[in-house]
Structure 1
Amino acid sequence: MSADAAAAPGGLAGTFRASPRVALFFLFLLNTLLVLDKIIFTILLEPIKREFQLDDFRLGLLAGAVYAFCLGIASVPFGILADRGNRRNLAAGCLAFWSAMTGLCGMAQSYSLLLVARLGVGIGEAGGGPTALSMIADLFAHKKRATAMAIFSLGTPMAALISLTTMTKVEALLGWRAVLLIASVPGFVIAIAMWLFMAEPKRSADAQRASAPPLRTTLAYVRSQRSLLLLLAGAMTAYIVLAGVSSWNFSFLIRVHHVKLSEVGPLLGASIAGAGMVGLYASGWLADFLAERDERWRTRVMAATTLASVAFGIAAFTVRDWHLAVACTAGLAACASLWLAPGYALSQSLVPTRMRGTVGAILFMLANVVGYGLGPPLVGLLSDAFQSAGVAVPLRDALIFMVTGNVLSALLFVLAGRSLRDDLTRAGATQDIPNAEQNTSGREE
């Protein structure tokens, strides 16, 4: 008997496994581990640089470009698979694979081997994000989708809390390799738990009757949705800023403020986690609440929080006291990621059900190939260029230059709102309200 068959409707076990809240909890854990790998590498950049004697550009490639390129390119075929097959199994399998690759990163004895293992992490993680977004969209109706995406996105500050409070101490005691080996273990446990205790979310009745369209049809539909194109462009720009700045935060504090990783890590982790958890949930809830009056408030919330990140960023990189720098960095990290919940929700609401996995994959591809692929090495390149030009604090100026890019992100989000109502109606999102039969099938209104 298969795992899904064992969870037949009507039984207590079946009801538990089909619960949208149970599924959302597992997807939150999956997202926590996905983000944890990103943050862990940023806090390990300096010890890795010392061991392998790397310049900032090669360090940036390791932190972003190679990993992000593989993640982004592999996202599209995984997204297509998510539109056609069992998303729960796909997500759990990918989680187990990238956890194994994280462990291999901790065993690498050369820069080249570390780069290859990091490539494997990116390929595994490519199946996590798109499948999760697609499942959440089928579990929660449009009017609650941003709030659900906010809970899913809480994995980001939770990962920051774990990595910056616990993993920094592990690095100080046991070294950077031990951090990666320890971080690889929970993924196997959660992958098994997902298979045992989480059911594959049911798609809408129309989606179950329809087959997933070919990629060219989905791309043509995306091009026809002006608000979705602008949303993707704004997300891509915001990811360049977020990835570039977050990857170099610790290096900045260590180099400019001369603090130890074990000293600043717990404080920064707690600050980012606290601000991020409150802010992410509030942004999702606020977007859903205000959108009851006007759907354009979703993009307005995204633009406002993105603009706020510019102010926090400039302050974080110019204040002289490192405690103030940490506080401002927490504000920067929170505001720069508050667009995620309403943005993810809109990306799923602006397309029909059978296109959601593919569109989620396109979002992850653009975000990672361009965002994480360009962000970290671009900061490193700017820092090296400023240093050659004789700038006193080159990394600081590179980070200030980078964070101002969120002005463009905010503008693109505002422009996306202009055609949002028409595009949502065209995609059928305004009629995306589950009926009684759908509710008994495991969907939350």
Structure 2
Amino acid sequence: MTAARSIPRSPTLVLVFLLLAYILNFLDRQILGILLEPIKTDLKFTDSELGVLTGPAFALVYSLFGVPFALLADRTSRSGVITASLGLWSLFTALCGTAASFWQLFAFRLGVGLGEAGGVAPSYALIADRFPAAQRGKALGIFSLGVPIGLGLGAVIGSWIAQHFDWRTAFLAMGVAGLILAPIFKFVVRDPPRVPGATPPSMGTLFATFPLVARKPSFWLLAFGASLSSLCGYGLATWVASILIRSFGMTLVGAGQFLGSLLLIGGTAGVFLGGYLADKLGGRDKRWYAWLPAIAWLITAPLYALGLLVENVTLVWALLLIPNALNILWLGPITTAVQHLVEPSKRATASAAFLVINNLIGLGVGPFLIGYISDALRSTYGADSLRYAALAVLVFYLVAALLTLLATRYLREDWVEDAA
């Protein structure tokens, strides 16, 4: 027996390493958000330019290559594609620390987006392969903990390193961490055997899979609902630290700890609760996979607005904790639902199609839109322009809830059960 074969291939072990990679995925995204203020001071960027770096510079490449990488993962090795992606985005994260101009940092962010394009959809498919349908929502919910944990650690660790060293060292440290994990990940995580007789996906899979989901109204409603939620979520995760510094007078480390605690406590609770409730309630009625996030977003919008408007920092934290849990609750339920809109062999490609929409709208628009509105409001509101820009985008949570509620009309009909 070889050393690689001696590694236990339990679903739990696979899930743990997928979670570690996903934590680094979001840590490397968030670290730019927490470093916006020192980067702005050092390189003299506007909020609109910072919005481009945090949004479109990453999202365009991330979305463009997500589907081809998912096809490659379905045809070859899902764990191999994830490993290569992890190494690539970590390398470019480290290179971000060497940037001396807007266009250099823009190019390196493109590289981070290229690498991360191959991480998520193959991970969804590996989890769907490893866990039975009754446990899939919970497993995807645990995997999705990488979002709040990565965002939270990015805020805390990034701000600490930048405060004690500089923002360039923060990028370098995070990149090196990923480069160390990549070979260990490949050694441990292995693909399960392919289903005997299954036809490997080809480039034609994209043209076969997308029409399958495109004919299903629930796909579009869930995709656009999640995307508008992500527009708010990515935008707020990017800019809240800067709001705390500009409008509440916090230090960089103080803002990092404040935001990190919200994401780690609230976000982690919300993701886990979403996965748990999806399995618990979804077994009774598939519509709960859409009802859960819709209810959460309807509560998120007013609470987040109230939290941004009050002046007492302790009250701000208390008010923002609940919406930081609820705004991310959708990850387990909706990603599980998307997995069940197609047969198992097409899951990575279907997930990638969903992620293209989610990231182009959510990640591509959210951070830039808040930065653009902030620059437009600066002459009226001064340092508070960023706070009011964040308030303006909260309306998209309400639209997301409406779209997802409409999806409940179609979800049971569109659902594809696992083969017996």
TM-score band by shorter chain is over 0.9
Of the candidates 352, 374, 396, which is equivalent to residue 405 of structure 1? 396
| Cα contact 2:66–2:356 (8 A) shared by 1 | yes
Deviation at 1:89, TM superposition (A): 0.5
Q: Which residue of 1 aligns with 2:123?
A: 132
| Cα contact 1:138–1:203 (8 A) shared by 2 | no
Deviation at 1:67, TM superposition (A): 1.0
Runs of 5+ consecutive residues of structure 1 not aligned to the other structure: 8-12, 434-445
| Cα contact 2:375–2:385 (8 A) shared by 1 | yes
Q: Which residue of 2 aligns with 1:265?
A: 256
| Cα contact 1:245–1:402 (8 A) shared by 2 | no
Deviation at 1:201, TM superposition (A): 2.6
Report the Cα distance in structure 1 between the residues aligned to 2:301 and 2:324, rounded to whole angstroms: 10
Letter in structure 2 aligned against 1:201: P
Q: Which residue of 2 aligns with 1:442?
A: none
Deviation at 1:416, TM superposition (A): 1.1
Q: Which residue of 1 aligns with 2:167?
A: 176
Deviation at 1:265, TM superposition (A): 1.8
Letter in structure 2 aligned against 1:417: T
Q: Which residue of 2 aligns with 1:341?
A: 332
The 10-residue stretch of structure 1 (121-130 or 330-339) with the greater mean CA deviation from structure 2 = 330-339
Report the Cα distance in structure 1 between the residues aligned to 2:164 and 2:231, rounded to whole angstroms: 33
Deviation at 1:209, TM superposition (A): 4.4
1:183–1:210 Cα change, 3 Å: closer
Q: How many residues align?
A: 419
Mapped pair 1:30 → 2:30: no
The 10-residue stretch of structure 1 (136-145 or 43-52) with the greater mean CA deviation from structure 2 = 136-145
SS in structure 2 at match of 1:294: coil
1:28-427 equivalent positions in 2, closer than 5 A: 28-205=19-196, 208-209=198-199, 211-212=201-202, 213-388=204-379, 393-424=384-415, 427=416
Runs of 5+ consecutive residues of structure 2 not aligned to the other structure: none
Letter in structure 1 aligned against 2:362: G
Superposed CA offset, 1:382-403 (max 9, x none): 1122234568832222111111
Q: Which residue of 2 aligns with 1:437?
A: none
| Cα contact 1:142–1:432 (8 A) shared by 2 | no
Deviation at 1:48, TM superposition (A): 0.6
Superposed CA offset, 1:345-391 (max 9, x none): 11111111222111111222222222111111111111122234568
| Cα contact 2:75–2:200 (8 A) shared by 1 | no
| Cα contact 2:240–2:259 (8 A) shared by 1 | no
The 10-residue stretch of structure 1 (290-299 or 319-328) with the greater mean CA deviation from structure 2 = 319-328
1:54–1:392 Cα change, 3 Å: closer
CA-atom RMSD in angstroms: 1.9
Percent identity, please: 34
Report the Cα distance in structure 2 between the residues aligned to 1:106 and 1:391, rounded to whole angstroms: 30
Report the Cα distance in structure 1 between the residues aligned to 2:88 and 2:382, rounded to whole angstroms: 43
Report the Cα distance in structure 1 between the residues aligned to 2:299 and 2:206, rounded to whole angstroms: 37
| Cα contact 2:201–2:346 (8 A) shared by 1 | no
| Cα contact 2:246–2:383 (8 A) shared by 1 | no
SS in structure 1 at match of 2:191: coil
1:309–1:177 Cα change, 3 Å: same
TM-score by length of 1: 0.90
| Cα contact 2:262–2:324 (8 A) shared by 1 | no
Letter in structure 1 aligned against 2:280: F
Deviation at 1:308, TM superposition (A): 1.8
Deviation at 1:236, TM superposition (A): 1.4
Report the Cα distance in structure 2 between the residues aligned to 1:22 and 1:390, rounded to whole angstroms: 51
1:293–1:191 Cα change, 3 Å: same
Deviation at 1:335, TM superposition (A): 1.5
Deviation at 1:312, TM superposition (A): 2.2
| Cα contact 1:73–1:369 (8 A) shared by 2 | no
Report the Cα distance in structure 1 between the residues aligned to 2:362 and 2:63, rounded to whole angstroms: 10
| Cα contact 2:270–2:324 (8 A) shared by 1 | no
Report the Cα distance in structure 1 between the residues aligned to 2:179 and 2:216, rounded to whole angstroms: 39
Report the Cα distance in structure 2 between the residues aligned to 1:349 and 1:88, rounded to whole angstroms: 21
TM-score by length of 2: 0.95
| Cα contact 1:40–1:167 (8 A) shared by 2 | yes
Letter in structure 2 aligned against 1:260: T
SS in structure 2 at match of 1:317: helix
Deviation at 1:304, TM superposition (A): 1.1
Superposed CA offset, 1:240-276 (max 9, x none): 1111121110111111111111123223312320122
1:274–1:432 Cα change, 3 Å: farther
Deviation at 1:202, TM superposition (A): 3.4
Superposed CA offset, 1:84-104 (max 9, x none): 110101100110111011110
1:392–1:211 Cα change, 3 Å: closer
| Cα contact 2:239–2:367 (8 A) shared by 1 | yes
Letter in structure 2 aligned against 1:271: L
